[in-house]
């Protein structure tokens, strides 16, 4: 089996393929875990079940949230850095509705009152009147998880650019890299934003969107935040090295920022004014990552058809935002489908070439 892409999604496919007895897995990737050009290297790493007004997607996210701890149990050297998260990025009424909706979908979310917030976030200066508490939300180090999944998969990883997918009639026979042709009858494309270009080599038009996410890392600090927090115009969490990882408004696009260094410094200043800490908060470094965004916002996982609507054999696509949340089951259920031909209901609504309107996603 060939997997194109060594981010968290490729790693999950490799791990689950190996678990299912696939013993020859070759991963081809132009960037490796930790490289700044990967989305996985630039992630915030919040695993959660939220997808307002989209039950099908929220169900998939929740299933991933429940599956992550099981996966962690099977992989040595992998753990989450925190459990539980507080969110108050909406007005009170909206937040209450969001909580109610997600409770009705069996998510472990509840309202946290001001006095509870004071207890759990003792270093926060301006306590909001209320917040949503996601009891099972996790924070995961994306690069570490990716490396450990690959390590446990026994796959061979080659740093190379894939130029073309090679097909004969409607059957995949391999890929062409910068250096050679590698033959295989099963190719998984877990190439994030590289997927449209790869698919164009077999005449499949594939659109994806992208936005640029800025995250700043402080130098290590004493324990200040036990839980990730997301307010109206900021999100922050403290990792296991003691660094705060801070972003602005969730999903902000930094591509039009004129002076990114100033914006990074400002995020630190703003955060130091929000937290009770007398020492200096110093910028260590910042990351800028392109989010791989399927056009309708939902993951895209599955087999492809050509422009005549004919099935292509041996090619499987998996691209998504929230890949840290979604990769575990994308890989597990994706590999099940590749090996057995059976599609699990949890991914039923995420066919790669189906774009769902907002209205449709609210009705399924
Ligand atoms: C700022 C930011 C914050 C985020 N926060 C969160 C969060 O809190 N929670 C969450 O769940 N998700 C979050 N995400 C999203 C998540 O990080 C991504 O969805 C996930 O990392 C995507 O993983 P991937 O493996 O699909 O893509 P990538 O990590 O980009 O990996 C794709 C790989 O494919 C390779 N590739 C592409 N084209 C080719 C080619 N032609 N030949 C060979 N190799 C190729 C690339 O080199 C790359 O290594 C965030 C993303 C960003 C940028």
CA of 304 to the centre of ligand 1 (A): 21
**Average pLDDT rounded to a whole number, residues 221-230:** 98
Computed over its alpha carbons, how large is the radius of gyration of the chain? 21
pLDDT of residue 247: 98
Over 90: is that where the pLDDT of 359 sits? Answer: no
Our mutation pick for probing the ligand 1 site, out of 9, 30, 34, 43, counting the most ligand atoms within 8 A of Cβ, is: 43
pLDDT of residue 216: 98
**Average pLDDT rounded to a whole number, residues 88-97:** 97
The yes or no reply on domain 2-42+144-207+295-363 and CATH 3.50.50.60 is yes
CB hemisphere CA count around 283 (13 angstroms): 17
Residue 130 tokens, joined: 């209320």
Rounded Cα distance between 169 and 308, Å, is 12
CATH 3.50.50.60 in the chain: give the residue spans. 2-42+144-207+295-363
CATH 3.30.9.10 in the chain: give the residue spans. 84-136+210-291
Ligand 1 proximity of 321 Cβ (cutoff 6 Å): yes
pLDDT of residue 252: 93
Which SS3 state, helix, strand or coil, does residue 173 take? strand
Residue in 241, 233, 239 with CA at minimum distance from that of residue 271 = 233
CATH class of 84-136+210-291: alpha beta
Q: What would the pLDDT profile of 141-185 be if each residue is shown by its tens digit?
A: 999 999 999 999 999 999 999 999 999 999 999 999 999 999 999
As separate numbers, helices (DSSP H) first and strands (DSSP E) second, the chain gives 9, 18
Confidence class of residue 360 from pLDDT cuts 50, 70 and 90?
confident
Q: Which residues does 56 contact at the CB level (< 8 Å), separation at least 6?
A: 348, 349, 361, 364
Q: What would the pLDDT profile of 321-358 be if each residue is shown by its tens digit?
A: 999 999 999 999 999 999 999 999 999 999 999 998 88
For residue 46, give the ligand 1 atom closest to its CA: 8
Nearest residue (by CA) to ligand 1, atom 2, is 43
Q: What would the pLDDT profile of 190-207 be if each residue is shown by its tens digit?
A: 999 999 999 999 999 999
pLDDT of residue 265: 97
**Average pLDDT rounded to a whole number, residues 266-290:** 97
Ligand 1 proximity of 112 Cβ (cutoff 6 Å): no
**Average pLDDT rounded to a whole number, residues 212-236:** 98
Is the pTM of the predicted complex or chain greater than 0.95?
yes
Rounded Cα distance between 27 and 343, Å, is 24
Over 90: is that where the pLDDT of 76 sits? Answer: no
Q: Which residues pair with 347 in a beta bridge?
A: none
Compute the mean pLDDT over every residue in the chain, rounded to the nearest whole number. 97
Tokens 């990730």, residue located: 228
Confidence class of residue 364 from pLDDT cuts 50, 70 and 90?
low
Q: What would the pLDDT profile of 30-52 be if each residue is shown by its tens digit?
A: 999 999 999 999 999 999 999 99
Our mutation pick for probing the ligand 1 site, out of 178, 236, 291, counting the most ligand atoms within 8 A of Cβ, is: 291
């Amino acid at each position: 089996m060939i997997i194109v892409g060594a981010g968290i999604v490729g790693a999950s496919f490799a791990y689950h393929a190996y678990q299912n007895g696939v013993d020859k897995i070759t991963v081809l990737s132009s960037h490796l875990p930790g490289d700044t050009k990967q989305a996985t290297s630039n992630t915030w790493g919040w695993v959660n079940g939220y997808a307002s007004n989209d039950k099908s997607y929220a169900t998939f996210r929740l299933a991933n949230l429940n599956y992550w701890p099981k996966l962690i149990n099977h992989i040595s050297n992998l753990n989450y850095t925190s459990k539980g998260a507080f969110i108050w990025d909406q007005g009170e009424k909206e937040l209450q509705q969001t909580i109610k909706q997600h409770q009705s979908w069996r998510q472990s979310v509840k309202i946290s009152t001001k006095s509870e917030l004071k207890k759990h976030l003792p270093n926060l200066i301006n306590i909001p009147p209320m917040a949503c508490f996601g009891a099972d939300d996790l924070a995961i180090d994306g690069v570490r998880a990716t490396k450990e999944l690959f390590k446990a998969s026994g796959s061979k990883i080659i740093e190379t650019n894939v130029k073309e997918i090679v097909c004969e009639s409607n059957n995949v026979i391999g890929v062409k890299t910068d250096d050679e042709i590698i033959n295989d009858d099963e190719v998984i494309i877990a190439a994030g934003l590289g997927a449209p270009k790869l698919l164009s080599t077999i005449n499949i038009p594939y659109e994806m969107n992208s936005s640029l996410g800025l995250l700043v890392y402080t130098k290590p600090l004493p324990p200040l935040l036990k839980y990730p927090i997301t307010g109206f115009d900021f999100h922050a969490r403290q990792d296991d090295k003691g660094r705060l990882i801070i972003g602005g408004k969730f999903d902000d696009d930094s591509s039009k920022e004129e002076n990114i260094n100033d914006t990074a410094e400002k995020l630190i200043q703003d955060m130091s004014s929000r937290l009770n800490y007398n020492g200096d908060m110093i910028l260590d470094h910042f990351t800028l990552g392109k989010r791989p965004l399927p056009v309708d916002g939902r993951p895209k996982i599955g087999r492809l058809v050509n422009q005549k609507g004919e099935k292509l054999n041996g090619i499987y696509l998996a691209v998504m935002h929230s890949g840290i949340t979604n990769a575990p089951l994308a890989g597990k259920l994706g590999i099940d489908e590749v090996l057995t031909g059976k599609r699990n209901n949890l991914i039923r609504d995420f066919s790669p070439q189906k774009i769902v309107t907002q209205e449709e996603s609210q009705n399924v």
